[in-house]
Protein backbone atom coordinates (compact mmCIF):
# COMPACT_ATOMS: atom_id res chain seq x y z
CA UNK A 1 0.00 0.00 0.00
CA UNK A 2 1.41 3.36 -1.01
CA UNK A 3 2.41 5.63 1.86
CA UNK A 4 0.80 8.56 0.10
CA UNK A 5 -2.93 8.64 -0.63
CA UNK A 6 -4.47 11.57 -2.43
CA UNK A 7 -7.60 12.04 -0.33
CA UNK A 8 -9.50 14.92 1.27
CA UNK A 9 -8.16 16.42 4.45
CA UNK A 10 -9.86 15.38 7.70
CA UNK A 11 -11.00 17.59 10.57
CA UNK A 12 -13.10 17.00 13.67
CA UNK A 13 -15.25 19.17 15.90
CA UNK A 14 -15.05 17.92 19.46
CA UNK A 15 -13.27 14.67 20.25
CA UNK A 16 -12.38 12.50 17.25
CA UNK A 17 -13.91 9.04 17.02
CA UNK A 18 -14.01 7.78 13.45
CA UNK A 19 -11.20 10.18 12.54
CA UNK A 20 -9.02 9.37 15.56
CA UNK A 21 -5.37 9.05 14.64
CA UNK A 22 -5.73 10.56 11.18
CA UNK A 23 -3.97 13.70 12.35
CA UNK A 24 -0.87 11.53 12.92
CA UNK A 25 -1.16 8.85 10.24
CA UNK A 26 -1.97 9.15 6.56
CA UNK A 27 -3.38 5.61 6.73
CA UNK A 28 -3.98 3.39 9.75
CA UNK A 29 -2.51 -0.02 8.97
CA UNK A 30 -3.22 -2.72 11.55
CA UNK A 31 -0.30 -1.73 13.78
CA UNK A 32 -1.32 1.96 13.82
CA UNK A 33 -5.00 1.03 14.18
CA UNK A 34 -4.32 -1.02 17.33
CA UNK A 35 -2.33 1.88 18.81
CA UNK A 36 -5.19 4.34 18.21
CA UNK A 37 -8.20 2.16 19.03
CA UNK A 38 -8.60 -0.17 22.04
CA UNK A 39 -9.24 -3.90 21.49
CA UNK A 40 -12.56 -4.74 19.88
CA UNK A 41 -14.95 -6.64 22.22
CA UNK A 42 -16.67 -9.83 21.11
CA UNK A 43 -20.36 -9.26 21.79
CA UNK A 44 -23.02 -11.90 21.26
CA UNK A 45 -25.77 -11.63 18.68
CA UNK A 46 -28.21 -10.20 21.22
CA UNK A 47 -25.56 -7.78 22.50
CA UNK A 48 -25.03 -6.36 19.01
CA UNK A 49 -28.74 -6.01 18.33
CA UNK A 50 -29.32 -4.37 21.72
CA UNK A 51 -26.41 -1.97 21.21
CA UNK A 52 -27.64 -0.89 17.77
CA UNK A 53 -31.11 -0.25 19.16
CA UNK A 54 -29.94 1.65 22.24
CA UNK A 55 -27.80 4.09 20.22
CA UNK A 56 -30.41 4.17 17.41
CA UNK A 57 -27.74 3.36 14.84
CA UNK A 58 -29.02 4.27 11.39
CA UNK A 59 -27.58 3.88 7.93
CA UNK A 60 -25.27 6.75 6.96
CA UNK A 61 -25.55 6.23 3.21
CA UNK A 62 -28.59 8.45 2.80
CA UNK A 63 -31.77 6.58 3.70
CA UNK A 64 -31.18 6.53 7.48
CA UNK A 65 -32.82 3.11 7.95
CA UNK A 66 -32.46 1.58 11.46
CA UNK A 67 -29.56 -0.86 11.48
CA UNK A 68 -31.05 -3.07 14.19
CA UNK A 69 -34.23 -3.60 12.18
CA UNK A 70 -32.28 -4.77 9.14
CA UNK A 71 -30.04 -6.96 11.26
CA UNK A 72 -32.96 -8.63 13.02
CA UNK A 73 -34.64 -9.31 9.68
CA UNK A 74 -31.47 -10.90 8.26
CA UNK A 75 -30.90 -13.06 11.35
CA UNK A 76 -34.55 -14.18 11.36
CA UNK A 77 -34.45 -15.00 7.63
CA UNK A 78 -31.26 -17.01 8.09
CA UNK A 79 -32.85 -19.02 10.89
CA UNK A 80 -36.03 -19.56 8.88
CA UNK A 81 -34.20 -20.77 5.76
CA UNK A 82 -31.41 -22.68 7.48
CA UNK A 83 -28.73 -20.51 5.86
CA UNK A 84 -26.05 -18.13 7.11
CA UNK A 85 -26.25 -14.40 6.36
CA UNK A 86 -23.85 -12.39 4.22
CA UNK A 87 -22.37 -9.11 5.48
CA UNK A 88 -21.95 -6.42 2.80
CA UNK A 89 -20.03 -3.15 3.14
CA UNK A 90 -21.26 -0.60 0.62
CA UNK A 91 -18.19 1.45 -0.28
CA UNK A 92 -19.30 2.28 -3.83
CA UNK A 93 -19.60 5.99 -3.16
CA UNK A 94 -20.56 7.30 -6.60
CA UNK A 95 -21.69 10.77 -5.57
CA UNK A 96 -19.20 13.50 -6.60
CA UNK A 97 -19.69 15.81 -3.57
CA UNK A 98 -19.28 12.95 -1.05
CA UNK A 99 -15.89 11.57 0.02
CA UNK A 100 -16.43 10.26 3.57
CA UNK A 101 -16.72 6.56 2.73
CA UNK A 102 -13.78 6.70 0.32
CA UNK A 103 -11.78 8.38 3.06
CA UNK A 104 -12.66 5.68 5.59
CA UNK A 105 -11.87 2.78 3.25
CA UNK A 106 -8.55 4.30 2.27
CA UNK A 107 -7.34 5.83 5.55
CA UNK A 108 -9.14 3.88 8.31
CA UNK A 109 -9.98 0.54 6.65
CA UNK A 110 -9.66 -1.52 9.83
CA UNK A 111 -12.31 0.54 11.63
CA UNK A 112 -14.79 -0.33 8.87
CA UNK A 113 -13.70 -3.96 8.89
CA UNK A 114 -14.01 -4.03 12.69
CA UNK A 115 -17.72 -3.33 12.42
CA UNK A 116 -18.27 -5.84 9.63
CA UNK A 117 -16.25 -8.56 11.41
CA UNK A 118 -18.01 -7.90 14.71
CA UNK A 119 -21.40 -8.48 13.06
CA UNK A 120 -20.15 -11.45 11.06
CA UNK A 121 -18.92 -13.18 14.21
CA UNK A 122 -22.05 -12.37 16.20
CA UNK A 123 -24.47 -13.42 13.47
CA UNK A 124 -22.52 -16.43 12.17
CA UNK A 125 -22.07 -14.93 8.71
CA UNK A 126 -21.04 -17.02 5.73
CA UNK A 127 -19.06 -14.26 4.06
CA UNK A 128 -18.09 -10.57 4.16
CA UNK A 129 -18.22 -8.65 0.86
CA UNK A 130 -16.81 -5.14 0.47
CA UNK A 131 -17.99 -3.26 -2.62
CA UNK A 132 -15.61 -0.53 -3.82
CA UNK A 133 -15.64 1.79 -6.82
CA UNK A 134 -13.25 0.90 -9.62
CA UNK A 135 -10.19 3.11 -9.50
CA UNK A 136 -10.84 4.33 -5.94
CA UNK A 137 -8.18 4.09 -3.20
CA UNK A 138 -10.28 1.49 -1.40
CA UNK A 139 -9.61 -0.92 -4.25
CA UNK A 140 -6.03 -1.22 -2.94
CA UNK A 141 -6.49 -0.34 0.73
CA UNK A 142 -9.17 -2.89 1.63
CA UNK A 143 -7.43 -6.01 0.23
CA UNK A 144 -4.25 -4.88 1.98
CA UNK A 145 -6.16 -4.55 5.27
CA UNK A 146 -7.83 -7.96 4.85
CA UNK A 147 -4.41 -9.56 4.43
CA UNK A 148 -3.27 -8.07 7.77
CA UNK A 149 -5.98 -9.39 10.08
CA UNK A 150 -7.75 -12.50 11.28
CA UNK A 151 -11.28 -12.85 9.92
CA UNK A 152 -14.31 -14.66 11.33
CA UNK A 153 -15.30 -15.86 7.84
CA UNK A 154 -14.09 -15.53 4.24
CA UNK A 155 -14.02 -11.97 2.90
CA UNK A 156 -13.58 -10.50 -0.57
CA UNK A 157 -13.56 -7.18 -2.34
CA UNK A 158 -15.80 -6.57 -5.35
CA UNK A 159 -14.93 -3.86 -7.87
CA UNK A 160 -17.93 -1.91 -9.19
CA UNK A 161 -18.28 0.68 -11.96
CA UNK A 162 -17.68 4.25 -10.81
CA UNK A 163 -21.22 5.45 -11.41
CA UNK A 164 -23.84 7.17 -9.25
CA UNK A 165 -26.23 4.23 -9.49
CA UNK A 166 -23.59 1.74 -8.27
CA UNK A 167 -24.12 2.89 -4.69
CA UNK A 168 -27.81 1.92 -4.69
CA UNK A 169 -28.11 -1.16 -2.49
CA UNK A 170 -29.96 -3.30 -5.01
CA UNK A 171 -27.56 -2.34 -7.79
CA UNK A 172 -24.56 -3.18 -5.61
CA UNK A 173 -25.93 -6.62 -4.72
CA UNK A 174 -26.64 -7.32 -8.38
CA UNK A 175 -23.04 -6.41 -9.14
CA UNK A 176 -21.79 -8.75 -6.41
CA UNK A 177 -23.92 -11.49 -7.98
CA UNK A 178 -22.33 -10.90 -11.39
CA UNK A 179 -25.36 -9.13 -12.89
CA UNK A 180 -25.53 -5.66 -14.49
CA UNK A 181 -24.98 -3.00 -11.83
CA UNK A 182 -28.39 -1.37 -11.82
CA UNK A 183 -31.36 -1.35 -9.43
CA UNK A 184 -33.63 -4.36 -9.65
CA UNK A 185 -36.80 -3.76 -11.65
CA UNK A 186 -38.83 -5.14 -8.72
CA UNK A 187 -37.90 -3.87 -5.27
CA UNK A 188 -36.78 -6.60 -2.88
CA UNK A 189 -35.36 -6.65 0.64
CA UNK A 190 -31.79 -7.86 0.88
CA UNK A 191 -32.30 -8.99 4.48
CA UNK A 192 -34.92 -11.49 3.36
CA UNK A 193 -32.54 -13.19 0.93
CA UNK A 194 -33.92 -14.67 -2.27
CA UNK A 195 -33.44 -12.59 -5.41
CA UNK A 196 -32.54 -9.54 -3.33
CA UNK A 197 -29.60 -11.13 -1.50
CA UNK A 198 -26.04 -12.15 -2.29
CA UNK A 199 -26.29 -15.69 -3.73
CA UNK A 200 -29.90 -15.65 -2.46
CA UNK A 201 -28.69 -15.55 1.15
CA UNK A 202 -30.11 -13.14 3.76
CA UNK A 203 -27.89 -10.09 3.35
CA UNK A 204 -27.09 -7.37 5.88
CA UNK A 205 -25.87 -4.35 3.89
CA UNK A 206 -24.77 -0.97 5.23
CA UNK A 207 -22.39 1.71 4.04
CA UNK A 208 -18.81 2.08 5.25
CA UNK A 209 -19.52 4.77 7.84
CA UNK A 210 -22.32 2.71 9.43
CA UNK A 211 -19.97 -0.23 10.00
CA UNK A 212 -17.32 2.09 11.44
CA UNK A 213 -19.92 3.62 13.78
CA UNK A 214 -20.86 0.13 14.97
CA UNK A 215 -17.22 -0.55 15.84
CA UNK A 216 -16.97 2.73 17.77
CA UNK A 217 -20.23 2.04 19.65
CA UNK A 218 -19.07 -1.48 20.58
CA UNK A 219 -15.86 -0.09 22.07
CA UNK A 220 -17.52 2.77 23.95
CA UNK A 221 -20.79 1.16 25.02
CA UNK A 222 -24.18 2.85 24.64
CA UNK A 223 -23.80 5.39 27.46
CA UNK A 224 -20.40 6.71 26.41
CA UNK A 225 -21.39 6.64 22.75
CA UNK A 226 -24.40 8.84 23.56
CA UNK A 227 -22.30 11.33 25.54
CA UNK A 228 -22.16 13.50 22.39
CA UNK A 229 -24.86 14.31 19.88
CA UNK A 230 -28.51 14.82 20.79
CA UNK A 231 -30.83 12.74 22.93
CA UNK A 232 -32.70 11.54 19.84
CA UNK A 233 -29.62 11.20 17.61
CA UNK A 234 -26.53 10.29 19.64
CA UNK A 235 -22.98 10.08 18.36
CA UNK A 236 -21.12 11.79 15.56
CA UNK A 237 -21.57 12.04 11.81
CA UNK A 238 -19.13 12.39 8.93
CA UNK A 239 -19.68 15.31 6.57
CA UNK A 240 -18.02 16.15 3.27
CA UNK A 241 -17.68 19.93 3.03
CA UNK A 242 -16.95 21.03 -0.53
CA UNK A 243 -14.98 24.22 -1.09
CA UNK A 244 -14.67 26.29 -4.30
CA UNK A 245 -11.27 25.89 -5.96
CA UNK A 246 -10.00 23.73 -3.10
CA UNK A 247 -10.07 20.10 -2.01
CA UNK A 248 -13.07 19.00 0.05
CA UNK A 249 -12.83 18.44 3.79
CA UNK A 250 -14.23 15.40 5.61
CA UNK A 251 -15.44 16.70 8.97
CA UNK A 252 -16.52 14.59 11.95
CA UNK A 253 -19.01 16.46 14.12
CA UNK A 254 -21.49 15.52 16.86
CA UNK A 255 -25.12 15.34 15.78
CA UNK A 256 -26.81 18.64 16.55
CA UNK A 257 -23.78 20.77 15.63
CA UNK A 258 -24.84 23.95 13.87
CA UNK A 259 -24.45 23.91 10.09
CA UNK A 260 -23.27 27.52 10.30
CA UNK A 261 -20.56 26.46 12.77
CA UNK A 262 -19.32 23.75 10.41
CA UNK A 263 -19.17 26.22 7.52
CA UNK A 264 -17.28 28.72 9.70
CA UNK A 265 -14.77 26.06 10.72
CA UNK A 266 -14.12 25.36 7.05
CA UNK A 267 -13.76 29.04 6.14
CA UNK A 268 -17.08 29.21 4.28
CA UNK A 269 -20.25 31.30 4.33
CA UNK A 270 -23.75 30.22 3.25
CA UNK A 271 -23.48 32.35 0.10
CA UNK A 272 -26.58 32.22 -2.07
CA UNK A 273 -27.69 28.86 -0.67
CA UNK A 274 -26.41 25.62 0.87
CA UNK A 275 -26.90 22.11 -0.43
CA UNK A 276 -27.12 19.48 2.32
CA UNK A 277 -27.41 15.77 1.58
CA UNK A 278 -25.65 15.70 -1.77
CA UNK A 279 -27.26 15.41 -5.18
CA UNK A 280 -30.26 13.60 -3.71
CA UNK A 281 -30.47 16.20 -0.96
CA UNK A 282 -32.10 19.63 -0.73
CA UNK A 283 -31.08 23.28 -0.94
CA UNK A 284 -31.48 25.62 2.03
CA UNK A 285 -31.79 29.40 1.94
CA UNK A 286 -28.79 31.15 3.58
CA UNK A 287 -30.71 32.20 6.70
CA UNK A 288 -32.12 28.69 7.20
CA UNK A 289 -28.72 27.11 6.68
CA UNK A 290 -26.96 29.38 9.16
CA UNK A 291 -29.34 28.38 11.97
CA UNK A 292 -29.90 24.71 11.10
CA UNK A 293 -28.80 21.87 13.36
CA UNK A 294 -26.99 19.01 11.63
CA UNK A 295 -29.30 16.15 12.47
CA UNK A 296 -32.11 14.42 10.64
CA UNK A 297 -34.67 16.24 12.81
CA UNK A 298 -32.94 19.62 12.72
CA UNK A 299 -32.60 19.66 8.93
CA UNK A 300 -36.15 18.41 8.39
CA UNK A 301 -37.42 21.43 10.35
CA UNK A 302 -36.02 23.76 7.66
CA UNK A 303 -36.90 21.56 4.69
CA UNK A 304 -33.53 19.83 4.40
CA UNK A 305 -32.26 16.27 4.59
CA UNK A 306 -29.00 14.86 5.94
CA UNK A 307 -28.68 12.24 3.18
CA UNK A 308 -25.08 11.21 2.64
CA UNK A 309 -23.78 14.23 4.57
CA UNK A 310 -22.38 16.12 1.57
CA UNK A 311 -22.44 19.92 1.90
CA UNK A 312 -21.91 22.60 -0.75
CA UNK A 313 -22.23 26.35 -0.08
CA UNK A 314 -22.87 28.14 -3.37
CA UNK A 315 -20.90 31.42 -3.64
CA UNK A 316 -22.54 34.54 -5.02
CA UNK A 317 -20.28 34.83 -8.09
CA UNK A 318 -21.63 31.82 -9.98
CA UNK A 319 -24.97 31.32 -11.76
CA UNK A 320 -27.20 29.10 -9.58
CA UNK A 321 -29.42 27.93 -12.43
CA UNK A 322 -26.41 27.11 -14.57
CA UNK A 323 -24.90 25.07 -11.75
CA UNK A 324 -28.14 23.17 -11.19
CA UNK A 325 -28.49 22.51 -14.92
CA UNK A 326 -25.04 20.90 -15.09
CA UNK A 327 -25.83 18.49 -12.28
CA UNK A 328 -29.36 17.72 -13.53
CA UNK A 329 -27.96 16.71 -16.92
CA UNK A 330 -25.35 14.51 -15.25
CA UNK A 331 -27.94 12.86 -13.00
CA UNK A 332 -30.16 12.15 -16.00
CA UNK A 333 -27.26 10.38 -17.69
CA UNK A 334 -26.31 8.43 -14.55
CA UNK A 335 -29.65 6.64 -14.26
CA UNK A 336 -30.13 3.01 -15.24
CA UNK A 337 -32.77 4.06 -17.77
CA UNK A 338 -35.01 1.11 -16.95
CA UNK A 339 -38.19 2.91 -15.89
CA UNK A 340 -40.27 5.80 -17.23
CA UNK A 341 -39.11 8.51 -14.78
CA UNK A 342 -35.46 7.91 -15.67
CA UNK A 343 -35.97 7.33 -19.39
CA UNK A 344 -38.18 10.36 -19.94
CA UNK A 345 -38.82 12.49 -16.86
CA UNK A 346 -35.24 13.30 -15.87
CA UNK A 347 -33.97 13.95 -19.44
CA UNK A 348 -37.01 16.15 -20.16
CA UNK A 349 -36.38 18.17 -17.00
CA UNK A 350 -32.66 18.52 -17.79
CA UNK A 351 -33.39 19.73 -21.32
CA UNK A 352 -35.93 22.29 -20.10
CA UNK A 353 -33.48 23.52 -17.46
CA UNK A 354 -30.84 24.01 -20.16
CA UNK A 355 -33.28 26.15 -22.15
CA UNK A 356 -34.01 28.26 -19.05
CA UNK A 357 -30.32 28.64 -18.18
CA UNK A 358 -29.66 29.92 -21.70
CA UNK A 359 -32.31 32.60 -21.24
CA UNK A 360 -34.32 31.15 -24.13
CA UNK A 361 -37.33 29.96 -22.16
CA UNK A 362 -40.17 31.51 -20.27
CA UNK A 363 -42.80 30.64 -17.69
CA UNK A 364 -44.01 27.74 -19.84
CA UNK A 365 -40.55 26.13 -19.83
CA UNK A 366 -40.33 26.50 -16.04
CA UNK A 367 -43.69 24.76 -15.85
CA UNK A 368 -42.24 22.01 -18.06
CA UNK A 369 -39.43 21.45 -15.53
CA UNK A 370 -41.83 21.16 -12.62
CA UNK A 371 -44.20 18.94 -14.59
CA UNK A 372 -41.44 16.55 -15.68
CA UNK A 373 -40.06 16.22 -12.16
CA UNK A 374 -43.49 15.93 -10.60
CA UNK A 375 -44.26 13.03 -12.91
CA UNK A 376 -40.92 11.40 -12.06
CA UNK A 377 -41.54 11.33 -8.33
CA UNK A 378 -42.83 8.20 -6.66
CA UNK A 379 -42.82 5.95 -9.70
CA UNK A 380 -39.23 4.80 -10.17
CA UNK A 381 -37.59 1.43 -9.56
CA UNK A 382 -35.26 3.14 -7.07
CA UNK A 383 -34.92 6.49 -5.30
CA UNK A 384 -32.96 8.18 -8.10
CA UNK A 385 -35.92 10.06 -9.66
CA UNK A 386 -37.18 11.22 -6.25
CA UNK A 387 -33.75 12.36 -5.11
CA UNK A 388 -33.07 14.22 -8.35
CA UNK A 389 -36.47 15.91 -8.17
CA UNK A 390 -35.80 17.02 -4.58
CA UNK A 391 -32.43 18.46 -5.61
CA UNK A 392 -33.84 20.48 -8.53
CA UNK A 393 -37.20 21.56 -7.06
CA UNK A 394 -35.64 22.78 -3.82
CA UNK A 395 -33.15 24.79 -5.90
CA UNK A 396 -35.98 26.45 -7.83
CA UNK A 397 -37.51 27.50 -4.50
CA UNK A 398 -34.26 28.79 -2.95
CA UNK A 399 -32.85 30.56 -6.03
CA UNK A 400 -36.12 32.27 -6.93
CA UNK A 401 -34.58 35.58 -8.00
CA UNK A 402 -32.06 33.92 -10.28
CA UNK A 403 -34.74 31.72 -11.86
CA UNK A 404 -36.96 34.76 -12.44
CA UNK A 405 -34.09 36.58 -14.18
CA UNK A 406 -33.61 33.65 -16.57
CA UNK A 407 -37.33 33.25 -17.16
CA UNK A 408 -37.45 36.92 -18.13
CA UNK A 409 -34.83 36.19 -20.79
CA UNK A 410 -31.97 38.42 -19.66
CA UNK A 411 -30.42 35.94 -17.26
CA UNK A 412 -28.41 36.78 -14.14
CA UNK A 413 -25.26 37.82 -15.99
CA UNK A 414 -23.03 35.55 -13.89
CA UNK A 415 -20.79 32.85 -15.38
CA UNK A 416 -21.12 29.17 -14.49
CA UNK A 417 -17.95 28.45 -12.52
CA UNK A 418 -18.55 24.73 -11.98
CA UNK A 419 -18.69 24.99 -8.19
CA UNK A 420 -20.84 21.87 -7.88
CA UNK A 421 -18.35 19.01 -8.34
CA UNK A 422 -18.81 16.59 -11.22
CA UNK A 423 -16.49 13.90 -12.57
CA UNK A 424 -14.68 14.31 -15.86
CA UNK A 425 -17.14 13.92 -18.72
CA UNK A 426 -16.38 10.52 -20.22
CA UNK A 427 -19.73 9.92 -21.90
CA UNK A 428 -19.94 9.02 -25.55
CA UNK A 429 -21.56 11.61 -27.80
CA UNK A 430 -23.78 11.27 -30.82
CA UNK A 431 -22.57 13.77 -33.42
CA UNK A 432 -24.40 15.13 -36.44
CA UNK A 433 -22.55 15.95 -39.68
CA UNK A 434 -24.62 18.84 -41.02
CA UNK A 435 -23.00 18.57 -44.47
CA UNK A 436 -24.65 15.16 -44.82
CA UNK A 437 -27.87 15.44 -42.77
CA UNK A 438 -30.94 15.64 -45.02
CA UNK A 439 -33.59 15.81 -42.29
CA UNK A 440 -35.04 12.32 -42.83
CA UNK A 441 -35.92 12.19 -39.13
CA UNK A 442 -35.25 8.45 -38.85
CA UNK A 443 -32.81 9.01 -35.97
CA UNK A 444 -35.64 10.51 -33.92
CA UNK A 445 -37.66 7.33 -34.46
CA UNK A 446 -34.82 4.91 -33.69
CA UNK A 447 -33.57 6.80 -30.63
CA UNK A 448 -36.51 8.91 -29.41
CA UNK A 449 -35.12 9.43 -25.94
CA UNK A 450 -31.80 10.58 -27.33
CA UNK A 451 -32.44 12.55 -30.52
CA UNK A 452 -35.02 15.32 -30.50
CA UNK A 453 -36.13 16.68 -33.84
CA UNK A 454 -36.72 20.33 -34.56
CA UNK A 455 -39.75 21.72 -36.45
CA UNK A 456 -38.20 20.87 -39.84
CA UNK A 457 -37.23 17.29 -39.05
CA UNK A 458 -33.56 17.95 -38.30
CA UNK A 459 -31.92 17.02 -34.96
CA UNK A 460 -32.19 19.89 -32.48
CA UNK A 461 -28.57 19.55 -31.34
CA UNK A 462 -25.29 18.83 -33.07
CA UNK A 463 -23.86 16.73 -30.21
CA UNK A 464 -25.86 14.69 -27.68
CA UNK A 465 -24.37 12.87 -24.63
CA UNK A 466 -25.17 9.16 -24.68
CA UNK A 467 -25.92 7.44 -21.38
CA UNK A 468 -24.91 3.75 -21.14
CA UNK A 469 -28.51 2.63 -21.42
CA UNK A 470 -28.93 4.70 -24.61
CA UNK A 471 -26.02 3.15 -26.50
CA UNK A 472 -28.13 0.54 -28.30
CA UNK A 473 -30.45 3.20 -29.72
CA UNK A 474 -27.50 5.40 -30.65
CA UNK A 475 -25.84 2.56 -32.59
CA UNK A 476 -29.10 1.80 -34.40
CA UNK A 477 -29.43 5.45 -35.40
CA UNK A 478 -25.84 5.54 -36.68
CA UNK A 479 -26.10 2.28 -38.59
CA UNK A 480 -29.45 3.06 -40.23
CA UNK A 481 -29.05 6.77 -41.03
CA UNK A 482 -29.77 6.99 -44.82
CA UNK A 483 -27.38 9.94 -45.20
CA UNK A 484 -24.57 8.47 -43.03
CA UNK A 485 -24.69 11.74 -41.08
CA UNK A 486 -24.29 10.32 -37.55
CA UNK A 487 -21.34 8.96 -35.62
CA UNK A 488 -20.56 8.11 -31.99
CA UNK A 489 -17.49 9.86 -30.61
CA UNK A 490 -15.91 8.53 -27.42
CA UNK A 491 -13.63 10.71 -25.28
CA UNK A 492 -9.99 9.93 -24.83
CA UNK A 493 -9.40 8.47 -21.40
CA UNK A 494 -6.81 9.81 -19.01
CA UNK A 495 -3.65 7.64 -18.85
CA UNK A 496 -3.98 4.88 -16.31
CA UNK A 497 -7.72 5.30 -15.84
CA UNK A 498 -9.58 1.94 -15.75
CA UNK A 499 -11.84 1.09 -18.65
Is residue 127 within 8 Å of 155, Cβ to Cβ?
Answer: yes
Other CB atoms within 10 Å distance of the CB of residue 130: 28
Mean pLDDT of the chain: 90
- Mean pLDDT, to the nearest integer, of 60-74? 89
Please state, in angstroms and rounded to a whole number, the distance separating the CA atoms of residues 393 and 305: 14
Please state, in angstroms and rounded to a whole number, the distance separating the CA atoms of residues 322 and 142: 38
- The pLDDT of residue 4: 43
- The pLDDT of residue 459: 86
Please state, in angstroms and rounded to a whole number, the distance separating the CA atoms of residues 216 and 116: 12
Percent of the chain with pLDDT over 90: 65
Considering the domain architecture, whether residues 98 and 164 belong to the same structural domain is answered as yes
The domain that holds 364 is classified in CATH as 1.20.1440.230
CB proximity list for 73: less than 8 A, separation 6 or greater: 189, 191, 192, 202
Q: Is the pLDDT of residue 498 over 50?
A: no
3-state DSSP assignment of residue 416:
coil
Bigger pLDDT: 470 vs 1: 470
Q: Examine the fold and report which residue of 195, 225, 255 is the final residue of a domain before the chain moves on.
A: 225
Indicate the number of domains in the chain. Answer: 4
How many secondary structure helices (H) and strands (E) does the chain include?
Answer: 20, 13
Considering the domain architecture, whether residues 62 and 183 belong to the same structural domain is answered as yes
Considering the domain architecture, whether residues 122 and 53 belong to the same structural domain is answered as yes
- The pLDDT of residue 1: 47
- The pLDDT of residue 156: 97
Please state, in angstroms and rounded to a whole number, the distance separating the CA atoms of residues 51 and 246: 39
Closest Cα partner for 255 from 241, 234, 278? 234
- Mean pLDDT, to the nearest integer, of 112-120? 98
Please state, in angstroms and rounded to a whole number, the distance separating the CA atoms of residues 212 and 17: 10
Highest mean pLDDT among 91-100, 211-220, 477-486 belongs to 211-220
Angle between helices 109-123 and 138-148 (to 10 degrees): 60
Q: Would you say residue 96 lies in a domain?
A: yes
The domain that holds 35 is classified in CATH as 3.40.50.11540
- The pLDDT of residue 68: 96
Q: Examine the fold and report which residue of 169, 200, 225 is the final residue of a domain before the chain moves on.
A: 225
Q: Is the pLDDT of residue 493 over 70?
A: no
- The pLDDT of residue 470: 80
Q: Examine the fold and report which residue of 372, 407, 442 is the final residue of a domain before the chain moves on.
A: 407
- The pLDDT of residue 62: 74
- Overall pTM > 0.75: yes
Domain residue limits at 381: 320-407
Q: Is the pLDDT of residue 381 over 90?
A: no
Considering the domain architecture, whether residues 73 and 93 belong to the same structural domain is answered as yes
Residue 495 confidence class, pLDDT cut points 50, 70, 90: very low
Instruction: Give Cα 496 to chain centroid, integer Å.
Output: 24
Please state, in angstroms and rounded to a whole number, the distance separating the CA atoms of residues 132 and 157: 7
Q: Which residues are registered as beta bridge partners of 274?
A: 284, 313
CB proximity list for 125: less than 8 A, separation 6 or greater: 84, 85, 86, 87, 119, 152, 153, 204
How confident is the model over 156-169, as pLDDT tens digits? 999 998 888 888 88
Considering the domain architecture, whether residues 201 and 139 belong to the same structural domain is answered as yes
Considering the domain architecture, whether residues 107 and 220 belong to the same structural domain is answered as yes
Phi first, then psi: give them for residue 51, nearest 5 degrees. -60, -50
Write the DSSP assignment of 246-261 as a string of letters: EEEEEEEEETT-BHHH
Q: Would you say residue 82 lies in a domain?
A: yes
Amino acid sequence: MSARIDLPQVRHMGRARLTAGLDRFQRLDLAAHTRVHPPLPRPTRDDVLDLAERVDLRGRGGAGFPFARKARAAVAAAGRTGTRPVIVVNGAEGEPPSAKDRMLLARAPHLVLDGACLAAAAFGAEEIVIGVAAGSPGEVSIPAALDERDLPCPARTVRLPERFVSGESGALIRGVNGLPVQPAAVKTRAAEGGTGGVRRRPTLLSNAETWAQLAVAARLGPEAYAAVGTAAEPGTVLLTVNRPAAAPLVVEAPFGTGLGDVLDACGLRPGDGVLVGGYHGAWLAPADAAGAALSRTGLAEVGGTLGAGAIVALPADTCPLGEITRVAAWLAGESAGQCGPCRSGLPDAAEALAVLAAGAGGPAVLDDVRRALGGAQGGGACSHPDGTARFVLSALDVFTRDVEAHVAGAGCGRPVLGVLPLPRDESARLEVDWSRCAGHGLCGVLAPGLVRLGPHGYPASTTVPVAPWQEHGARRAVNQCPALALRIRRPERAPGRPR
